[in-house]
Structure 1
Amino acid sequence: MRGEGQRLAIFYADFECPHCASLHFALAQVPDLRVVLRHFPVRARHPRAFQLACAAEAAGLQGAFWAFADSLFGDQGRLDPPHLWARVERLGLDLDRFERDRRSAAVRERVEADLTGGLRAGVAGTPTLFLDGQRYTRPWPEPVLRLLGQH
């Protein structure tokens, strides 16, 4: 979870989705908002999305989930393993542990649980945002635009 505050945003995302990247950085700028990112890898459109979600969870096991997510969303043109390893190095993470963790059953199950939870909650694609329990998708309606300071 990122941020503090009374309002809660649960954000279903795919690290290869450019609209998710835009929403990710916009949500990070909203004061007094707690943000939870849940994985919703759309494998049919984004073949690396599941592996990237596992990589983010592996980074999270070393305390760097949000920094790693920021780096993935910030440079979606470089998402293959050599660039992942460079991110791990820049963040000062243990590469051997990262590799073990990102391939582990526990991490895969965590990502699958987010995906399953999203499907149960009515998520059909990314980005999907639950703001204070209400589900929103693009194009963003007025309540989301106000939150993001776009209206």
Structure 2
Amino acid sequence: MAITLCHEKSFLLKSPMNQDSNPNQLFVPPSQRDHYQGILSAPIVLVEYGNYQSPQCGEVHRLIQAIQQHFDSMFPEENRVCVVFRHFIQNSIYPQAHKAAEVAEAAAAQGQFWQMHEMLFTHQHALDNGYLVEYANRLELDISQFLQDLSKRMYVDRINEDIESGHHSGVITAPALFINGIRYSGRWSLEQLIATIVSASH
């Protein structure tokens, strides 16, 4: 089934005045500032708000990987899907999630965001400080720089910007997924997600 380019209007930044009338639309469009896989001009752009401690975010992470594999296998020569990840953390529910997000950002500063992203989701049950340093070691990061960045809390503002952008888009809890700028409200199943993505791409 052919997939066409999404409408540009899906990504227009809305003013706060219009926000209340469009609570299911992405407020801050994807940009070079984001962590993303693929190209931002892809026909399918998925923006996930999540955190590394939530079990459901872990499930959505695996669903998104399956979606990427599905479209890569169908269109091996094309960049059909772009995946954007933004932090959305509720400290009272997931007390280790913020430090894990800082670790991901410290890895990003050394060019290894997605490698650490995968490591953290793979080991959601082990996010204590000692484990986080172990993951940095496994990725062969500069540990001195890594620890210095964490001690200075270098990336708190960036994480808070993600959270704030989620609030502007009506996100209350993670995970939340936007498909071509529109909030996904269906079941977290691969079949339904793929069907929604195909429909949104027309």
The TM-score normalised by the length of structure 1 is: 0.89
Return 5+ residue gaps in structure 1 as ranges. none
Higher mean C-alpha deviation, range 20-29 or range 127-136: 20-29
Shift of 1:105: 4.8
Is the CA contact 1:54–1:103 (under 8 Å) kept in the aligned structure 2? no
Is the CA contact 1:57–1:102 (under 8 Å) kept in the aligned structure 2? no
Counting only pairs closer than 5 Å after superposition, residues 1-151 of structure 1 correspond to structure 2 as 1-4=36-39, 5-29=42-66, 30=68, 31=71, 32-137=80-185, 139-140=187-188, 144-146=193-195
1:110-146 deviation digits (Å, cap 9, x = unpaired): 0010011100111010100011011124634875253
Q: Give the match's secondary structure for 1:42.
A: coil
**Whole-Å Cα distance in 1 between the matches of residues 129 and 186 of structure 2?**
30
Higher mean C-alpha deviation, range 70-79 or range 27-36: 27-36
1:7-45 deviation digits (Å, cap 9, x = unpaired): 101100011011111111221232321111000011111
Is the CA contact 1:127–1:137 (under 8 Å) kept in the aligned structure 2? no
Paired amino acid for 1:14 = N
Is the CA contact 1:127–1:138 (under 8 Å) kept in the aligned structure 2? no
**Whole-Å Cα distance in 2 between the matches of residues 107 and 60 of structure 1?**
10
Distance of aligned partners of 1:146 and 1:83 in 2 relative to their CA distance in 1, 3 Å threshold? same
Distance of aligned partners of 1:2 and 1:147 in 2 relative to their CA distance in 1, 3 Å threshold? farther
The TM-score normalised by the length of structure 2 is: 0.67
Is the CA contact 1:128–1:138 (under 8 Å) kept in the aligned structure 2? no
**Whole-Å Cα distance in 2 between the matches of residues 104 and 117 of structure 1?**
24
In the alignment of these two chains, the number of paired residues is 149
Q: Give the match's secondary structure for 1:73.
A: helix
**Whole-Å Cα distance in 1 between the matches of residues 141 and 169 of structure 2?**
34
Return 5+ residue gaps in structure 2 as ranges. 1-35, 72-79, 198-202
Distance of aligned partners of 1:88 and 1:137 in 2 relative to their CA distance in 1, 3 Å threshold? farther
Shift of 1:71: 0.7
Superposed CA RMSD: 2.1
Q: Give the match's secondary structure for 1:19.
A: helix
Identity across matched positions, percent = 31
Shift of 1:147: 5.9
Is the CA contact 2:186–2:192 (under 8 Å) kept in the aligned structure 1? no
Distance of aligned partners of 1:147 and 1:78 in 2 relative to their CA distance in 1, 3 Å threshold? farther
